[in-house]
Amino acid sequence: MSRASTSVMWFRRDLRLADNPALLAAAADGEVLPLFVVDPALWGPSGDVRRAWLLRSLRALDESLGGRLVVERGDPVRVLPRVAARAGAARVHVAADTGPHGRRRDEAVEAALAGAGVELVRTGTAYAVGPGSVLTGAGRPFQVFTPFARAWAAHGWPAPAGSPAGARWVRGGGEGVGGAHWPDEPDLGALRLPPAGEGAARERWRAFLADGLEGYEHDRDRPDLAGTSQLSVHLKWGEVHPRTLLADLARHRSAGAEAFRTELAWREFYADVLWYRPESAREYLRPQLARLSYSEPGETFRAWSEGRTGYPFVDAGMRQMRAEGWVHNRVRMVVASFLVKDLHVEWTLGAREFMRWLRDGDIASNAHGWQWVAGSGTDAAPFFRVFNPVAQGQRFDPDGEYVRRYVPELRHLPGRRAHEPWSAPDGYAHGYPERVVDHAAERRAALEGYARLRREAPDGV
């Protein structure tokens, strides 16, 4: 009897066993060597929060593999041929990476493997509909979300894939979890993360379906409530696939389920935009906006990043990010608008700060979310939208609970008064800082700058 063939399953943003088509394809080949490569090109720029989450997620994956996950460190172009040769593997299986760096890396890995007689097999992506799959009737990429979402839903997606029951795992003689190639987990100080891994993702999803989905349509904009799923980090690392969530949502006919589907569509839209415009991860989708007058990041930028602007809703959001590695989406929009429109700092610097601190930092969603706020993204008439940080707080944190949770200097102010400490005789009694800028004046300055650009720009904005 001939020996079963061996394949390498190269895990990346798919740190799970269930609903993983690439893993099923690897298992169909025979024995599977499960591999993760700590790539310095990605590890180096990552913030400590994302590094910590990744390491914890990998430990959870290793546990589900019975301690068989092989961990290597180095450039995948050199690591993959070496591991494949060591295992005697004819194929390396992956879920396709659709990001700019991942596409370039995988092309280089594919060439290196081909030189060694090994095939790189791509099966599936991190999205329900692979980026680049949905086009307009004229065969062009979508530029606006709403028509994309309709076409995305009409395109549809396959049912969730099964689990690799009976898969035969091999170690391959490499470093396991905790070996020499395994980085030390960074010290996050007081920042606390929730449980990572596939099991935690499934548990979180089950809890949200039971307790959060019905009210999601209304509660998702309220940072004072536990109204969101907080699954973004699990989706970012592939601990659960959006196809799994969509299959469960199909069994719920409610406004909450539809609203959640729409949020998944936004994630897929931004990945699609990045697919066609890979430079938009760091450059302006509308390059004319780069000609606006921006301020150098100085003390006001530090005040923003540390939650010391004197605007409670903004400061609560930035402090939440440093305490939890996560920020409510409504608050993300408000703090981003404040940086760009009130402090006149370029969105690229804010996007970089988010990627430093967020556990769910995703290049497509982060960059294009910031561009949407900054007026350089996919929105049709974006720059005129300037979020009022006080009005937003009063509307979406009506009793001040969110502010008091993250800004202890204001816990003595009851109800809505927490949003306007300057209006209370004892508003600054516990050391809360005064406002770094006047919102009304900076809003006018931002709009005047945009109007001036429109007059001067020969190609329009």
Residue 75 shares a structural domain with residue 136: no
The domain spanning residue 439 has which CATH number?
A: 1.10.579.10
Rounded-to-integer distance, Cα 129 and Cα 107, Å: 21
> Higher-confidence residue: 379 or 150?
150
SS3 content of the chain, % helix, strand, coil (to 5): 50, 5, 45
- The answer to whether position 194 is within a domain reads no
* pLDDT averaged over every residue in the chain: 94
- The answer to whether position 165 is within a domain reads no
As given in the structure block, the two tokens for residue 83 are 């591991």
Note if the pTM is more than 0.85.
Answer: yes
129 Cα distance to chain centroid: 17
In the chain, the number of structural domains is 3
Whether pLDDT at 3 is above 80: no
CB 81 within 8 A of CB 115: yes
Q: Which single residue is written with the structure tokens 């395994």?
A: 182
Rounded-to-integer distance, Cα 353 and Cα 350, Å: 5
- The phi, psi pair for 120, rounded to 5°, reads -95, 120
Residue 249 shares a structural domain with residue 301: no
Rounded-to-integer distance, Cα 14 and Cα 164, Å: 14
As given in the structure block, the two tokens for residue 24 are 């099923």
> Higher-confidence residue: 174 or 265?
265
- The answer to whether position 388 is within a domain reads yes
Tens digits of per-residue pLDDT, 76-134? Answer: 999 999 999 999 999 999 999 999 999 999 999 999 999 999 999 999 999 999 999 99
- The answer to whether position 88 is within a domain reads yes
DSSP H helices, 9-67, are: 21-29, 40-43, 48-64
Rounded-to-integer distance, Cα 285 and Cα 24, Å: 38
Residue 302 shares a structural domain with residue 451: yes
- What does the pLDDT read at residue 1? 29
Residue 268 shares a structural domain with residue 256: yes
